[in-house]
Amino acid sequence: MDKIYLDNAATTRTRDEVLEVLNASLRENYGNPSSTHSFGRSARTLIEKARKTIAGYLNASPSEIIFTSGGTEADNMVLRSAVRDLGIRTVITSKTEHHAVLHTVGQLQKEYGIAVKYVVPDPDGTPNNEHLEWLLQNDDSKKLVSLMHVNNEIGNKIDIDEVARICKENNALFHSDAVQSIGHWEWDTQKTRVDFLAAAAHKFHGPKGVGFAYIRKKSGLAPLIFGGEQERGYRAGTESVHNIVGMEEALRLAYGHLEEERKYIGGLKKYFIEQLREKIPGVEFNGSCADDSRSTYTVVNVRLPFSKEKAQMLLFHLDLKGIACSEGSACQSGSLTGSHVLSAILSDEELQKPSLRFSFSSFNTKEELDYVVETLKEFRES
């Protein structure tokens, strides 16, 4: 069988339609969008059209969409400016957040002496809303809550509306890393009162190196990158026109095919879980990934009943068999400490067993999943 890509939470294959848009922009719209001549005006028109399109999918104002190099920059832009410019003295987050949030918050603690508090997780790893509310009610400082909508490793999905309500009722700003959510789940920023969001195009079949921050009007945020007046002054530097229009096309296709692709991918996930349970007795699933009502439809994080010796060779063996998956976030590859998400929710005994993240897209098939399950079964029996 050809190589099988099941690491879509790390990045996705760029759609052919997006590649066509990217190439056309590079060929035909190469003007600097800050230039006043026709070449520049054409590029500027494309950027503002993309901004309007993206804002429409979030039920936001175009002025609230700020283009960035990706989710990490968007997270940094929001968190650093909130502490530096808005007077935030306490950040409340969870130990299962992406490192783009955790490492930024840790650095802000060193630089500005802010307090950092962590919401305790439920047994499945989802931040506990009652504890969040208690933390907010027992802190008189100016606060910001940062909780991701969809966890990138275990697929847990928080009740974003409830978290937004708790934050609003307790006068806290709310930031959500929505990198695994936007393009996969519907968003309405008028209904869900988040103050800030982060997104990345390459998570929904767009190009790498581009994303956006949603910054609610009149937030008071100041620039992270200084220079020209691009992006309403929030982010200096010539915009990456081709990447921005590629992201627009990717998001248009993602939401245009959302229902059919969610049904198809969700069916793959359900089938994969069923086959694993049937063919590999003793298999376990981390977080809420096996519960459709509490997780995203694209991620399965599986804990396998393999010996410690076999565990050391598992990922290497799968790669030799042409199967791409992950032990955790791609952003921590090379780390010797393992998954910080699993370390926060599993016992020492459970951590001794190998856990793998499989993440799906509409490009995957049941035949591929059969091959993966059979490969895992043969590896266990070898």
The 3-state DSSP class for residue 27 equals: helix
Q: Which of 167, 289, 325, 331 is catalytic?
A: 331
Q: Which of 211, 183, 185 shows the shortest CA–CA distance to 198? A: 211
C-alpha 382/C-alpha 380 separation (Å) is 6
Tell me phi and psi for residue 127, to 5 degrees: -55, 135
Q: Which of 199, 158, 152, 185 shows the shortest CA–CA distance to 261? A: 185
Non-local CB neighbours of 376 within 8 Å, separated by 6+ positions: 276, 279, 280, 304
The β-bridge partners of 24 are none
Tokens of 293: 């009502």
Non-local CB neighbours of 252 within 8 Å, separated by 6+ positions: 53
**Strand pairing category for 284-285 and 211-215:** unpaired
Confirm if 176 and 127 have CB atoms less than 8 A apart: no
Tokens of 369: 């999943």
Question: Residue 10 carries which side chain, given as an amino acid letter?
Answer: A
Tokens of 157: 């999905």
Q: Which of 289, 276, 286, 270 shows the shortest CA–CA distance to 380? A: 276
Nearest 10 degrees: Cα torsion 345, 348, 354, 360: 0
C-alpha 91/C-alpha 183 separation (Å) is 27
C-alpha pair distances (Å), 220 with each of 87, 191, 324: 10, 21, 43
The β-bridge partners of 264 are none
Is residue 331 part of the annotated active site? The answer reads yes
C-alpha 42/C-alpha 29 separation (Å) is 7
Active site residues: 331
